[in-house]
């Protein structure tokens, strides 16, 4: 009596298995090399796309191979199952972000200022080939409570308060420019990195003293990609919420639901 080991092998199951293994290696080693070995972010993002597309193709091939094995009594069912499992494991990361992708607007640069967003200065030098422009374009979108903060403190006290929270956030400090005596404006530039891949987002805070109170504007921009999945808006809101929670003399300027300016180029 024949057993399954003597049956013809499914080539689709074999190719699905191989492609799933290659795709998994691409994703895992890309994360490791980018996070710990200084691999270019632009290259890493392209490699991840290749890995995810490969995993999707491997999933389809493995599923077809499993059906083929069942219908034609071929061997290789174990490889087909492993190909499906490994492909789904690789795709779990992008699929977990799919709901946020579907509801988030296609933006990557968010500012609290509607007419004159804080400009990146020292951070411009950190932008490499393939990264987004540091220029700013006005593109309306709905974003509640992404507005400047009014701090009822002197400029220096407000500057120190903001700097302390930046340090507490453990963002990478790029530049600290105290309040200028002529303009009464100070800047803090920093970088925040995503948890898994360590993709950089650039941040600039503008502290402007006006008499006995100070206005704080914040801009947060993804260095790569045309979608930020709401990350920059959430970063600004969380930062401002922490300031408001810790201090009773801080409130938001203006009314909620104001249009938010996001994008690439400043007018």
Residue pLDDT, tens place only, 98-137? 998 888 888 889 999 868 899 999 999 988 888 888 887 6
12 in Cβ contact with 71 (< 8 Å): no
Note the pLDDT of residue 88.
98
Residues 58 and 33 in one domain: yes
Residues 145 and 116 reside in one and the same domain: yes
Q: How far apart are CA 34 and CA 131, in angstroms?
A: 15
Q: In the prediction, which pLDDT does 264 show?
A: 42
Residues 148 and 238 in one domain: yes
3-state secondary structure of 197: coil
Question: How many domains is the chain partitioned into structurally?
Answer: 2
| 142 in the same domain as 216 | yes
pLDDT one-digit tens code per residue, 74-106: 888 999 999 999 999 999 999 999 998 888 888
Neighbours of 111 (CB within 10 A): 27
CATH code of the domain covering residue 202: 3.30.310.80
Enumerate residue ranges in the chain where pLDDT < 50: 1-2, 4-5, 140, 142, 256-267
| 167 and 75 inside one domain | no
pTM: 0.83
Specify the DSSP class assigned to residue 183.
T
Asked, for residue 182, whether it belongs to a domain, the answer is yes
Report if residue 187 sits inside a domain.
yes
Q: Please indicate, yes or no, whether residues 120 and 211 belong to a single structural domain of this protein.
A: yes
pLDDT at 267: 36
- The domain containing residue 16 runs over which residues? 4-96
Q: Are residues 30 and 113 in the same domain?
A: no
CB atoms closer than 10 angstroms to residue 201: 21
In a domain, 102, yes or no: no
Whether residues 131 and 220 share a domain: the answer is yes
Domain boundary, last residue among 75, 96, 117: 96
Angle (CA) 171 92 221, round 5°:
30
Under 8 Å between Cβ of 175 and 188 = yes
Q: Which residue has the tokens 């801009």?
A: 219
Q: Do residues 197 and 232 both lie within one domain?
A: yes
**Secondary structure class of 126 (helix, strand, coil):** helix
For residue 247, the model assigns a pLDDT of 81
Q: 38 with 165, same domain?
A: no
CB-CB neighbours of 62 under 10 Å: 30
């Amino acid at each position: 009596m024949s057993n399954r080991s003597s049956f013809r092998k499914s080539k689709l199951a074999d190719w699905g298995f191989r492609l799933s293994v290659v795709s998994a290696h691409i994703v895992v080693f890309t994360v490791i090399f980018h996070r710990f070995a200084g691999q270019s972010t632009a290259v890493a993002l392209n490699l991840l796309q290749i890995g995810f597309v490969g995993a999707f193709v491997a999933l389809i091939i493995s599923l077809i191979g499993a059906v083929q094995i069942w219908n034609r009594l071929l061997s290789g069912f174990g490889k087909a199952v492993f190909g499906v499992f490994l492909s789904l494991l690789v795709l779990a990361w992008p699929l977990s972000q799919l709901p946020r992708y579907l509801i988030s607007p296609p933006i990557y640069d968010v500012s609290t200022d509607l007419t004159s967003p804080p400009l990146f200065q020292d951070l411009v030098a950190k932008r490499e080939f393939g990264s987004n422009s540091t220029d700013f374009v006005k593109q309306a979108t709905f974003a509640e409570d992404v507005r400047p903060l009014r701090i009822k403190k002197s400029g220096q006290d407000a500057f120190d308060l903001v700097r302390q929270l930046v340090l507490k956030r453990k963002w990478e400090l790029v530049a600290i420019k105290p309040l200028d005596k002529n303009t009464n404006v100070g800047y803090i530039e920093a970088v925040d990195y995503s948890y898994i891949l360590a993709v950089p987002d650039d941040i600039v805070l503008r502290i402007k003293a006006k008499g006995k109170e100070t206005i704080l504007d914040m801009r947060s921009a993804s260095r790569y990609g045309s979608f930020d999945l709401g990350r920059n808006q959430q970063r600004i809101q969380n930062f401002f919420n922490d300031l408001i929670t810790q201090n009773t003399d801080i409130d938001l300027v203006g009314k909620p639901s104001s249009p938010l300016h996001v994008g690439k180029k400043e007018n």
